[in-house]
């Protein structure tokens, strides 16, 4: 059964929780982020409802899918802002450039995360849950079906790995 075939009474609390998580995720995003919390939640909902492969069988699977969708939406938004930044730079508009500086870093992080996923998929999932979706260590452990201590170790390893790869670029 699809998550979206669920009873609206079941869906509403999950959407409320998703809104809280999206708000927390937005606070960690670079300054100048243009998506409002409600827009981010709406985009996640629409993305999951359009994707036929996004069939959540339970709560933790739903939040895993939501973390992936949130990451994709935030990265796509950063890419669009980066394109606008390039256009502003070409037009020599320094005011338009200032709030966009961190979009490139976010896109670069996504590329680095994709490289990490090829080598250490679980580490990439931890980053997706912790950084992009803002899940706690406990929530991440529950979603990934691992121990909290494993999430702590993976988070530490992922941050070190991402730092080394970013420095090499």
Quick one: 52 exposed, middle or buried, by C-beta within 10 A (0-12, 13-18, 19+)? Answer: exposed
Q: Determine the pLDDT at residue 71.
A: 84
- Looking up tokens 């338009």, which residue turns up? 96
Quick one: 150 exposed, middle or buried, by C-beta within 10 A (0-12, 13-18, 19+)? Answer: middle
Q: Determine the pLDDT at residue 92.
A: 36
pLDDT tens sequence for the chain (169 residues): 455 555 667 777 888 888 887 777 777 666 555 577 788 888 888 888 777 666 777 888 888 888 888 888 888 887 777 665 554 444 333 223 223 336 777 777 788 888 889 999 999 999 988 888 888 899 999 999 999 999 999 999 988 887 776 566 5
In angstroms, the CA 80 to CA 115 distance is: 21
Q: Determine the pLDDT at residue 101.
A: 35
Task: Show me where the domains of the chain are located.
Answer: 3-168
Q: Determine the pLDDT at residue 86.
A: 53
Compute the CA torsion angle 21, 24, 25, 28 (nearest 10 deg).
Answer: -170
**Lookup: tokens for 21:** 């998580």
């Amino acid at each position: 059964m699809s998550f979206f075939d669920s009873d609206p009474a079941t869906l509403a609390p999950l959407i409320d929780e998703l809104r809280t998580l999206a708000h927390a995720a937005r606070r960690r995003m670079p300054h100048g982020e243009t998506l409002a919390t409600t827009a981010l939640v709406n985009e996640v909902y629409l993305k999951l409802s359009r994707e036929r492969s996004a069939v959540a069988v339970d709560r933790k699977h739903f939040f895993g899918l939501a973390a992936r969708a949130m990451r994709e939406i935030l990265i796509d938004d950063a890419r669009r802002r980066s394109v606008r930044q390039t256009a502003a730079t070409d037009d020599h508009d320094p005011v338009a450039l200032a709030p966009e500086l961190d979009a490139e870093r976010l896109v670069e992080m996504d590329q680095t995360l994709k490289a990490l996923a090829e080598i250490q998929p679980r580490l990439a999932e931890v980053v997706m849950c912790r950084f992009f979706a803002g899940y706690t260590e406990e929530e991440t452990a529950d979603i990934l079906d691992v121990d909290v201590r494993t999430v702590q170790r993976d988070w530490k390893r992922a941050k070190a790995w991402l730092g080394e790869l970013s420095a090499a670029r």
